[in-house]
Amino acid sequence: MIDVLAVASEYYPLVKTGGLADVTGALPAALKPHGIATRTLLPGYPKVMQHLVTPAILHDFADLFGGPARLLASGDLIVLDAPHLYGRDGNPYLGPDGRDWPDNWRRFAALGLAAGELGCGGVGDYKPRIVHAHDWQAALAPVYLRFWQGPAKSVLTIHNLAFQGQFPSKIFAELRLPPSAFAIDGVEYYGAVGFLKGGLASADAITTVSPTYAAEIATPQQGMGLDGMIRARRSAVTGIVNGIDTDIWNPATDMALTERYTARRLELRQANKHAVEQRFGLDRDDGPLFCVISRLTWQKGMDILADTLDSLVAHGARLALLGSGEAWLEQAFAAAAQRHRGRIGVIAAYDESLSHLVQGGSDAILIPSRFEPCGLTQLYGLRYGCVPVVAQTGGLADTIIDANDAAISAGVASGLHFAPADAGALENAISRAVALYREPKLWTQMQRMGMKMDVSWQKSAARYAALYRRLIG
Ligand code: ADP
């Protein structure tokens, strides 16, 4: 077995704000058959600490960015217990005022530093061969490994380049890195400190979560200021599409559903559809029911969606929207629900179990993202026979086969694409979807095609395992 230390700020089911948690929660089990033993280093948020059963103390830090800290081991988790950094309830990144915690740089520098310590072999007899850091919160891990000359190889996975972890240069002095690390091929970023930038400069391998996104982030239009860095490291960058946990997301066994079903018994979805109609206060009719399950943000194209709702209703369709996020978007959707009572239903919440029911009862899921590194909700949609209607970008483009005439006649269509991500194109896609829905044979064929696709971790886990093996030679 090859020992891999995964480092992340989220891990399903203990702490989740988005797809990152689903990935770090599911990948270890998928890697095991490939001879990879993963342990995951997580910050000791209260929810994580409560989960630990008789943890072993692996390491003590007398002072880790302003207070004592310990590394605790429990099962496959290694938890950084640092109450002065993580002993706060609620969102892992934001305070009760909805703003970033002012000491986020310390909170996530500590995570990277602890990973560096582990990767340098300085913690008992645990000596991981690979340290696999996820996103900016873990991105200093490869930096510590490089500048402390640890023996472990490092992988950095970008789940979203929009979040980069940039902080004023004055924090550098406290990072315990040599002065040479504050340089253009280190953490220095336009005179400030960039965590993700440093990780990209330092990691032995960089992955992102779809091949299309890997190409997109090398362009000035979508590189978010880091495209030069991505291009400079092009030979180290690969795109590996995320899988999903097909045990948790299985319509045949899912207890969050009113009725369980398989691709052969799609008529059973009707009971779930009625349950969704009831939960969202929607009329009952035999027209299509669209859904959205999303963070309500600009990235997700939620303002574009808000602009198309009158047209969606005019097409005789209905919408169930489950989402939480920015207040102006929540208000726009609440207003649309008022305007179109019975046609648009909105639940402004984050509700994991309801998200399963919505996938199991809606006919199609709308995903108008302006950019989407991978996206998971379209994969859940495929698995649940909830046809994805997606903007043609990033992982959405890579995982959904558009229902154009050729794909329909070949029987391979699994959803609909539209481009660009704007209201006109989305309206067009909604109108195409409504027309397809009115041809039940075609629609069912599309649902079955999606349900047949392999959206598990199997293939992608093999790719990560091959990457690890290549790195350790
Ligand atoms: P991102 O990580 O950018 O938010 P992904 O599509 O990769 O987007 O992952 C989003 C994850 O969060 C999915 O598991 C999705 O089901 C879940 N999710 C998003 N919004 C909600 C919500 N309001 N309620 C429940 N689950 C949600």
Question: In ligand 1, which atom is closest to the CA atom of 377?
Answer: 6
Take atom 24 of ligand 1 and give the residue whose Cα is closest. Answer: 350
- Look at residue 256 and tell me if it is in a domain: no
DSSP state of 179: G
Contact 337, 262 (CB under 8 A): no
Contacts of 405 (CB under 8 A, 6+ apart): none
Residue 433 neighbours by CB under 8 Å, 6+ apart? 288, 290, 364, 387, 389, 416
Specify whether the backbone of 327 is left (phi greater than 0), alpha (psi in -120 to 50) or beta: alpha
Record the tokens describing residue 238, joined without a space: 């690969």
Q: What is the largest CA-CA distance in the chain?
A: 67
Has residue 111 been placed in a domain?
yes
**What spacing in Å lies between the alpha carbon of 17 and ligand 1's midpoint?**
7
Domain count, the chain: 2
Look at residue 52 and tell me if it is in a domain. yes
CA–centroid distance, residue 223 to ligand 1 (Å) = 23
Contact 392, 320 (CB under 8 A): no
Which residue's CA is the nearest one to ligand 1's atom 22?
A: 350
Q: What is the CATH number of the domain that holds 223?
A: 3.40.50.2000
Half-sphere exposure (Cβ direction) of 473: Cα atoms closer than 13 Å? 4
pLDDT value for 50:
96
Ligand 1 is surrounded, with C-beta below 6 A, by: 18-19, 22, 293-295, 322-324, 350-352, 355, 374-377
Q: Parallel, antiparallel, or unpaired: how do β-strands 192-194 and 188-189 relate?
A: antiparallel
Q: Whose CA is nearest to atom 4 of ligand 1?
A: 18
Residue 2 C-alpha to ligand 1 middle, in angstroms? 31
pLDDT score for 55: 96
Give yes or no: residues 279 and 178 share one domain: no
Q: Are residues 77 and 220 in the same domain?
A: yes
Q: Ligand 1 centre and the CA of 377: distance in Å?
A: 7
Q: Tell me the best of 12, 15, 20, 22 to mutate to test the pocket of ligand 1, counting ligand atoms within 8 Å of each CB and taking the most.
A: 22
Range of the domain at 175: 2-243+457-472
**Residue entry with tokens 């696999």:** 132
What ligand 1 atom has the least distance to the C-alpha of 299? 3
Residue 254 belongs to a domain: no
Q: What separation in Å is there between the alpha carbon of 398 and the centre of ligand 1? A: 18
Residue 116 shares a structural domain with residue 199: yes
- The reported pLDDT for the residue numbered 90 is 84
Q: Which mean pLDDT values do the consecutive 10-residue runs of the chain (473 residues) have? A: 98 95 96 98 97 95 98 97 95 93 98 98 94 98 98 98 98 98 97 98 98 98 97 97 96 98 98 98 97 97 98 98 96 97 97 98 98 98 98 98 96 98 98 98 98 97 98 96
Does 362 lie in the same domain as 438? yes
Verify that 190 and 238 share a domain, yes or no.
yes
Q: What distance in angstroms lies between residue 294's CA and the mean position of ligand 1's atoms? A: 5
- List residues bridging with 292 in a β-sheet: 321
Q: Are residues 282 and 412 in the same domain?
A: yes
Residues 198, 324 within the same domain: no
* Atom from ligand 1 closest to the CA of residue 18: 2
Which protein residue's CA is at the shortest distance from atom 15 of ligand 1?
Answer: 377
For residue 98, the model assigns a pLDDT of 87
Q: Are residues 93 and 220 in the same domain?
A: yes
Between the CA of 170 and the centroid of ligand 1 the distance, in Å, is 35
Whether 272 and 169 share a structural domain:
no
Task: Give residue 318 CA to ligand 1 midpoint distance, Å.
Answer: 21
Kindly state the DSSP code that residue 93 receives in the 8-state scheme.
Answer: S
Residue 273 lies in a domain: yes
From 158, 295, 299, the mutation candidate for ligand 1 (largest count of ligand atoms within 8 A of CB) is 295
**Ligand 1 pocket: which of 23, 329, 350 to mutate (most atoms within 8 A of CB):** 350
Ligand 1 pocket check: which of 157, 293, 329, 455 to mutate, most ligand atoms within 8 Å of Cβ?
293
Give the whole-angstrom CA distance, residue 211 versus residue 226: 17
User: Pairing mode, if any, of strands 153-158 and 36-43?
Assistant: unpaired
Predicted pLDDT at 153: 98
- Burial label, 173 (beta-carbon count in 10 A; 0-12, 13-18, 19+): exposed
Both 281 and 223 in a single domain? no
Q: Is residue 69 part of a domain?
A: yes
Residue nearest ligand 1's atom 9 by CA: 19
Same-domain status, 284 and 271: yes
Residue 257 lies in a domain: no
Give per-residue pLDDT as tens, 217-250.
999 999 999 999 999 999 999 999 999 999 999 9
Q: Is 246 helix (H, G, I), strand (E, B) or coil?
A: coil
**From the alpha carbon of 17, which atom of ligand 1 is closest?**
12
Asked whether residue 19 falls in the same domain as residue 59, the answer is yes
Residue 249 lies in a domain: no
**Atom of ligand 1 minimally distant from the CA of 378:** 6
Question: Best substitution site from 377, 386, 455 to test ligand 1's pocket, by max atoms within 8 Å of Cβ?
Answer: 377
